[in-house]
Chain A
Amino acid sequence: MSGTTLWAAVLAGSLGCYLLKLAGLSVPAAWVEQPWVARIVDFVPAALLAALVAVQAATSGQQLVIDGRLVGLAVAALALALRAPFIVVLVLAGAAGALVHLLA
Chain B
Amino acid sequence: MSAPTRSTVRDSIGLGLAVGLYGVAFGAAADAAGLHVWQAVTLSALMFTGASQFALVGVLGAGGSALAAAGSALLLGTRNTVYGVRLVPLLQPKGVLRRVGPAHWVIDETTAMALAAPNRALGRLAFLVTGATIYLTWNAMTAVGALGAAGLGDSARAALDAVVPAAFLALLWPRLRSSFPEAATQRRVALGGAVVALALTPFVPPGVQVIAAVVAVALAGRPRTGGRATAAEEMR
Task: Using CB atoms and an 8 Å cutoff, list the residues of chain A in contact with chain B.
Answer: 1, 3, 5-18, 20-27, 29, 32-33, 35-59, 61-64, 68-69, 71-73, 75-77, 80, 86-87, 89-90, 93-98, 100-102
Contact = CB atoms under 8 A, between A and B. Distances in A.
A1 B121 CA distance: 48
Given A61-B206, A73-B169, A77-B169, A3 B36 contact: yes
Contacts of B48: 17
B136 interface: no
* Contact residues on B (Cβ < 8 Å of other chain), bracket: 35 or more
B16 interface: no
Contacts of A25: 84-85, 87-88, 91, 93, 99, 102-103, 106
Contact of B104 (A21, A37, A54, A56): A21
- Determine which residue in A32, A51, A61, A94 has the highest number of CB atoms from chain B within 10 A of its CB, and name it: A51
B143 interface: no
B144 interface: no
B213 A48 contact: yes
Contact of A23 (B36, B75, B84, B169): B84
Contacts of B35: 6, 10
Given A45-B79, A62-B201, A93-B163, A98 B158 contact: yes
Contacts of A20: 74, 77-78, 80-81
A39 B189 CA distance: 12
Given A13-B69, A29-B85, A86-B21, 15 more contacts: A10-B39, A14-B46, A16-B77, A17-B73, A33-B82, A45-B51, A46-B216, A47-B189, A50-B190, A51-B216, A73-B166, A76-B170, A80-B173, A86-B22, A98-B158
A55 B58 contact: yes
Which 10 A/B pairs are nearest by Cβ-Cβ distance? A24-B84, A97-B162, A72-B162, A51-B213, A93-B166, A47-B193, A101-B158, A76-B166, A51-B197, A35-B223
Nearest to A28: B85
Secondary structure at the A interface, as helix, strand, loop or mixed, is helix
A50 B191 CA distance: 7
10 contacts: A49-B55, A50-B216, A73-B162, A73-B165, A90-B166, A93-B162, A93-B165, A96-B162, A101-B155, A102-B155
A9 B228 CA distance: 35
B129 interface: no
Nearest to B217: A43
Given A9-B70, A73-B166, A97-B161, A45 B155 contact: no
